Protein backbone atom coordinates (compact mmCIF):
# COMPACT_ATOMS: atom_id res chain seq x y z
CA UNK A 1 0.00 0.00 0.00
CA UNK A 2 1.13 3.53 -0.75
CA UNK A 3 1.62 5.72 2.29
CA UNK A 4 -1.03 8.32 2.98
CA UNK A 5 0.50 11.78 3.41
CA UNK A 6 -0.59 15.19 4.56
CA UNK A 7 0.48 18.44 6.13
CA UNK A 8 -0.46 21.90 7.29
CA UNK A 9 -1.42 24.94 5.23
CA UNK A 10 2.04 26.54 5.21
CA UNK A 11 3.99 23.30 4.68
CA UNK A 12 5.97 23.49 7.93
CA UNK A 13 4.39 20.22 9.13
CA UNK A 14 4.33 17.07 6.99
CA UNK A 15 3.25 13.60 8.06
CA UNK A 16 2.56 10.11 6.77
CA UNK A 17 0.16 7.36 7.76
CA UNK A 18 1.48 3.82 7.50
CA UNK A 19 -2.04 2.37 7.41
CA UNK A 20 -5.45 3.48 6.20
CA UNK A 21 -7.80 4.95 8.82
CA UNK A 22 -9.62 2.43 11.02
CA UNK A 23 -12.52 4.88 11.26
CA UNK A 24 -13.47 8.12 9.54
CA UNK A 25 -15.85 10.15 11.67
CA UNK A 26 -17.83 13.32 11.31
CA UNK A 27 -17.73 14.97 14.74
CA UNK A 28 -20.15 17.77 15.62
CA UNK A 29 -18.82 18.43 19.14
CA UNK A 30 -18.29 22.06 20.04
CA UNK A 31 -14.55 21.60 20.59
CA UNK A 32 -13.90 20.09 17.14
CA UNK A 33 -16.04 22.78 15.52
CA UNK A 34 -14.19 25.60 17.29
CA UNK A 35 -10.76 24.14 16.67
CA UNK A 36 -11.47 23.75 12.96
CA UNK A 37 -13.50 26.94 12.58
CA UNK A 38 -16.30 24.99 10.91
CA UNK A 39 -19.64 23.33 11.69
CA UNK A 40 -18.02 19.92 12.19
CA UNK A 41 -14.74 18.11 11.83
CA UNK A 42 -13.97 15.05 9.72
CA UNK A 43 -11.38 12.98 11.54
CA UNK A 44 -9.54 9.80 10.59
CA UNK A 45 -8.65 7.46 13.44
CA UNK A 46 -5.37 5.62 12.97
CA UNK A 47 -3.15 3.59 15.29
CA UNK A 48 -0.70 6.02 16.91
CA UNK A 49 2.26 3.93 15.77
CA UNK A 50 1.09 4.41 12.16
CA UNK A 51 1.25 8.24 12.37
CA UNK A 52 4.67 9.76 11.72
CA UNK A 53 5.73 13.41 11.52
CA UNK A 54 8.20 13.65 8.62
CA UNK A 55 8.80 17.41 8.81
CA UNK A 56 8.42 20.03 11.50
CA UNK A 57 7.16 19.98 15.05
CA UNK A 58 3.61 20.39 16.30
CA UNK A 59 2.44 22.55 19.20
CA UNK A 60 0.04 21.03 21.73
CA UNK A 61 -3.03 22.53 23.37
CA UNK A 62 -4.43 20.36 26.18
CA UNK A 63 -8.23 20.43 26.10
CA UNK A 64 -10.80 18.85 28.40
CA UNK A 65 -13.61 16.95 26.66
CA UNK A 66 -17.22 16.93 27.87
CA UNK A 67 -16.42 13.61 29.56
CA UNK A 68 -13.65 15.25 31.60
CA UNK A 69 -10.97 13.31 29.72
CA UNK A 70 -7.96 15.13 28.32
CA UNK A 71 -7.51 15.66 24.59
CA UNK A 72 -4.18 16.86 23.22
CA UNK A 73 -4.96 18.97 20.15
CA UNK A 74 -1.80 19.30 18.08
CA UNK A 75 -1.33 21.96 15.44
CA UNK A 76 1.19 23.95 13.39
CA UNK A 77 2.44 26.93 15.38
CA UNK A 78 3.17 28.88 12.18
CA UNK A 79 -0.16 28.72 10.29
CA UNK A 80 -2.46 27.32 13.01
CA UNK A 81 -3.63 24.28 11.03
CA UNK A 82 -4.99 21.60 13.38
CA UNK A 83 -3.32 18.27 12.57
CA UNK A 84 -4.31 15.63 15.14
CA UNK A 85 -6.26 15.08 18.31
CA UNK A 86 -4.79 12.61 20.81
CA UNK A 87 -7.79 11.51 22.86
CA UNK A 88 -6.51 10.13 26.18
CA UNK A 89 -9.66 8.02 26.62
CA UNK A 90 -8.65 6.12 23.45
CA UNK A 91 -4.98 5.21 24.01
CA UNK A 92 -3.09 3.90 21.01
CA UNK A 93 -5.14 5.94 18.51
CA UNK A 94 -4.76 9.43 17.07
CA UNK A 95 -7.38 11.32 15.10
CA UNK A 96 -6.04 13.11 12.03
CA UNK A 97 -7.95 16.12 10.74
CA UNK A 98 -9.01 14.82 7.32
CA UNK A 99 -8.70 18.25 5.68
CA UNK A 100 -4.92 18.08 6.19
CA UNK A 101 -4.58 14.88 4.12
CA UNK A 102 -3.12 15.39 0.65
CA UNK A 103 -5.92 13.28 -0.82
CA UNK A 104 -8.84 13.41 1.63
CA UNK A 105 -11.38 12.74 -1.14
CA UNK A 106 -10.70 9.01 -1.01
CA UNK A 107 -12.19 8.72 2.50
CA UNK A 108 -15.89 8.69 3.31
CA UNK A 109 -17.45 9.01 6.76
CA UNK A 110 -18.05 5.70 8.52
CA UNK A 111 -19.73 7.20 11.61
CA UNK A 112 -21.25 10.50 12.73
CA UNK A 113 -20.98 11.57 16.38
CA UNK A 114 -22.48 14.34 18.50
CA UNK A 115 -25.33 14.64 16.01
CA UNK A 116 -27.40 16.29 18.77
CA UNK A 117 -25.11 19.33 18.58
CA UNK A 118 -25.44 20.11 14.90
CA UNK A 119 -27.85 22.56 13.30
CA UNK A 120 -31.27 21.02 12.64
CA UNK A 121 -30.98 22.00 8.95
CA UNK A 122 -27.70 20.06 8.52
CA UNK A 123 -28.47 16.93 6.45
CA UNK A 124 -27.67 13.47 7.80
CA UNK A 125 -25.15 11.33 5.96
CA UNK A 126 -27.12 8.57 4.24
CA UNK A 127 -26.13 5.06 5.34
CA UNK A 128 -23.74 6.29 8.03
CA UNK A 129 -24.34 5.17 11.64
CA UNK A 130 -25.16 8.17 13.82
CA UNK A 131 -24.75 8.75 17.55
CA UNK A 132 -26.50 11.65 19.26
CA UNK A 133 -23.54 12.05 21.65
CA UNK A 134 -19.99 10.67 21.67
CA UNK A 135 -19.12 7.16 20.58
Pairing, β 93-97 against β 111-113 = unpaired
Supply the range of the domain harboring residue 42.
Answer: 4-117
Whether 63 is in a domain gets the answer yes
Q: Is residue 42 part of a domain?
A: yes
With cut-offs at 50, 70 and 90, classify the pLDDT of residue 135: low
Measured over the CA atoms of residue 106, residue 124, residue 30 and residue 90, the dihedral's sign is negative
> Would you say residue 89 lies in a domain?
yes
Q: In degrees rounded to 5, what are phi and psi of residue 33?
A: -60, -45
20-48: pLDDT as tens digits: 999 999 988 888 888 888 888 899 999 99
Q: At 90, which CATH number?
A: 2.170.150.70
In a domain, 128, yes or no: no
| Residue 72 in domain | yes
Is the pLDDT higher at 130 or at 111? Answer: 111
Long-range interactions of 79-86: CB distance < 8 A, separation 24+:
79/8, 79/9, 79/10, 79/12, 80/9, 81/8, 81/9, 81/10, 81/13, 82/35, 82/36, 83/6, 83/8, 83/13, 83/15, 83/58, 84/51, 84/58, 85/32, 85/35, 85/43, 86/48
Q: Please give the tally of structural domains in the chain.
A: 1
**Within a domain: 107:** yes
pLDDT digits (tens, 9 = 90+) for 82-126: 999 999 888 999 999 999 999 998 899 999 888 888 888 988 888
pTM (2 d.p.): 0.89
Amino acid sequence: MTDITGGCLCGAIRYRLGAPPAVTAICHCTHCARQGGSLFSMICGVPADQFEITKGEMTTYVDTADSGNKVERKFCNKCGSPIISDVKAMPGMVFVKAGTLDDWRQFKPTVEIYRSRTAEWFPAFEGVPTFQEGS
